[in-house]
């Protein structure tokens, strides 16, 4: 009977083992999680869990009992340090070896560090794990000053959570608007106005200095992540901004798949490689990988999807647009109830709804269609 080994205890790893069992796989499954937790979702770490609105148990893919009940050998707090493709084994920090017939790499991404913040002497945090979220929340409260470096999705969600907890918040962003490279100036301005209206000291086009961090109770750095592809690179797999995978999520080794944040995917619909760091991609790539591990022949064709909740603004976004696309807006930007469409060569390449939840299906359906 064959053995499938999964490296990575995030949402992608937890979903692929679930899909394997649901798909009828009866062989051995071994799941290595470097953290001391069963697989869990990360969005709550900057949203409801960070704000204390939901317990961490809501973030777990399954409780730990599920893995034993479904004969999944879950090894938490265990890091894989080498893949021997010739022998078809993985090695862990304690020197143990685990053979595999097929392997799934779901090692995710790691936050990019900022030397200025790390060497500033201030309490500095990066958000990736449950423990990171716990530590950040400990600094929230009236009279506490939080500095956020980077006005991307994580930075803005942390800023919103900190403000709702009564903290003073300063956000530094090198671009002229938050999320400018993703949304373009029209929609990015909505997020700038949102945070300013809620009392955030938003400093745009800014270069951070050590003096700017002086007096902060906590500095949260959110300047992006890097794919955690070192293990794959050392094993001789093709790597370039993540682990290169084909349309079916196979790496350059046909017995090894890669999914989630770490995978740089040859997307058959978009017609180019893309690496997506969002919740939905981790789930849906895991399902397709599981189907192919079970003998299927499925391409991963799904468009990227993500969502955010900040203060009174909730939004959903489908597709893969850029700041260079033409943006068409329907609705009321000032009231923050609108739909936006990113159009390239007459075709909708991305679409978004903000506080217009009844429109989700209709907006999603426009992606890939002429405008």
Report the pLDDT value the prediction gives residue 209, as an integer from 0 to 100. Answer: 95
> Which one, of 255, 249, 371, 367, lies nearest residue 318 by Cα?
367
pLDDT in tens, 105-134: 999 999 999 999 999 999 999 999 999 999
> Residue 296 to residues 4, 192, 248, 282, 291: CA-CA distances in angstroms?
15, 46, 9, 19, 5
Report the pLDDT value the prediction gives residue 174, as an integer from 0 to 100. Answer: 97
Report the pLDDT value the prediction gives residue 1, as an integer from 0 to 100. Answer: 78
DSSP H stretches of helix in 198-341: 210-213, 230-234, 279-293
DSSP H stretches of helix in the chain: 11-22, 64-69, 115-118, 130-138, 153-164, 180-197, 210-213, 230-234, 279-293, 360-364
Spatial CB neighbours of 313, under 8 Å, sequence gap ≥ 6: 190, 191, 194, 336, 354, 355
Q: What does the chain come to in residues?
A: 371
Cα Rg of the chain, angstroms: 21
Give me the tens of pLDDT residue by residue for the chain, a chain 371 residues long: 799 999 999 999 999 999 999 999 999 999 999 999 999 999 999 999 999 999 999 999 999 899 999 999 999 999 999 999 999 999 999 999 999 999 999 999 999 999 999 999 999 999 999 999 999 999 999 999 999 999 999 999 999 999 999 999 999 999 999 999 999 999 999 999 999 999 999 999 999 999 999 999 999 999 999 999 999 999 999 999 999 999 999 999 999 999 999 999 999 999 899 999 999 999 999 999 999 999 999 999 999 999 999 999 999 999 999 989 999 999 999 999 999 999 999 999 999 999 999 999 999 999 999 99
CA distance 181 to 13: 30
Inter-residue long-range contacts of 89-92, CB under 8 Å, 24+ positions, other chains counted: 90/5, 90/7, 90/32, 92/32
CA distance 304 to 291: 20
Rounded to whole angstroms, the maximal C-alpha distance in the chain is 61
CA distance 171 to 193: 13
Report the pLDDT value the prediction gives residue 64, as an integer from 0 to 100. Answer: 85
| Alpha-carbon 304 to chain mean position | 11
Q: Which residues pair with 353 in a beta bridge?
A: 316, 339
Q: Token pair of 222, please?
A: 């959110």
pTM exceeds 0.85: yes
Supply φ then ψ for residue 9, to 5 degrees: -105, 30
Q: Token pair of 232, please?
A: 């794959």
Report the pLDDT value the prediction gives residue 98, as an integer from 0 to 100. Answer: 98
Q: Which residues pair with 147 in a beta bridge?
A: 170, 219
């Amino acid at each position: 009977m064959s053995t499938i080994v999964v490296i990575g205890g995030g949402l992608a790893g937890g979903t692929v083992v679930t899909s394997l069992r649901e798909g009828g796989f009866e062989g051995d499954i071994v799941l290595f999680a470097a953290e001391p937790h069963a697989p869990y979702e990360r969005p709550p770490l900057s949203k409801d869990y960070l704000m204390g609105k939901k317990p961490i148990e809501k973030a777990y893919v399954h409780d730990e009992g599920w893995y034993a009940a479904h004969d999944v050998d879950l090894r938490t707090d265990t890091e894989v340090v080498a893949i021997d493709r010739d022998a078809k084994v993985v090695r862990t920090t304690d020197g143990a070896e685990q053979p595999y017939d097929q392997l799934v790499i779901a090692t995710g991404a790691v936050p990019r560090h900022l030397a200025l913040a790390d060497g500033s002497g201030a309490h500095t945090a990066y958000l990736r794990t449950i423990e990171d979220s716990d530590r950040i929340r400990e600094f929230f409260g009236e009279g506490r000053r939080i500095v956020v470096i980077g006005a991307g999705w994580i930075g803005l969600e942390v800023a919103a959570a900190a403000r709702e907890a009564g903290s003073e918040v300063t956000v530094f962003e090198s671009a002229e608007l938050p999320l400018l490279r993703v949304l373009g100036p029209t929609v990015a301005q909505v997020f700038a106005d949102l945070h300013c209206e809620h009392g955030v000291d938003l400093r745009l086009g800014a270069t951070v200095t050590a003096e700017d961090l002086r007096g902060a109770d906590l500095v949260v750095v959110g300047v992006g992540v890097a794919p955690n592809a070192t293990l794959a690179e050392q094993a001789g797999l093709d790597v370039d901004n993540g682990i290169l995978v084909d349309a079916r999520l196979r790496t350059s080794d046909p017995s090894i798949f890669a999914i989630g944040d770490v995978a740089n995917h040859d997307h058959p619909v978009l017609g180019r490689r893309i690496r997506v760091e969002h919740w939905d991609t981790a789930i849906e790539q895991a399902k397709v990988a599981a189907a192919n591990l079970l003998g299927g022949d499925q391409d991963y064709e799904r468009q990227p999807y993500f969502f955010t909740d900040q203060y009174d603004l909730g939004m959903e976004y489908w597709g893969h647009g850029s700041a260079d696309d033409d943006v068409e807006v329907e609705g009321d930007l000032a009231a923050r109830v609108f739909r936006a469409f990113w159009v390239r060569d007459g075709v909708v390449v991305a679409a978004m709804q903000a506080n217009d939840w009844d429109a989700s299906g209709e907006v999603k359906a426009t992606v890939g269609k002429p405008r």
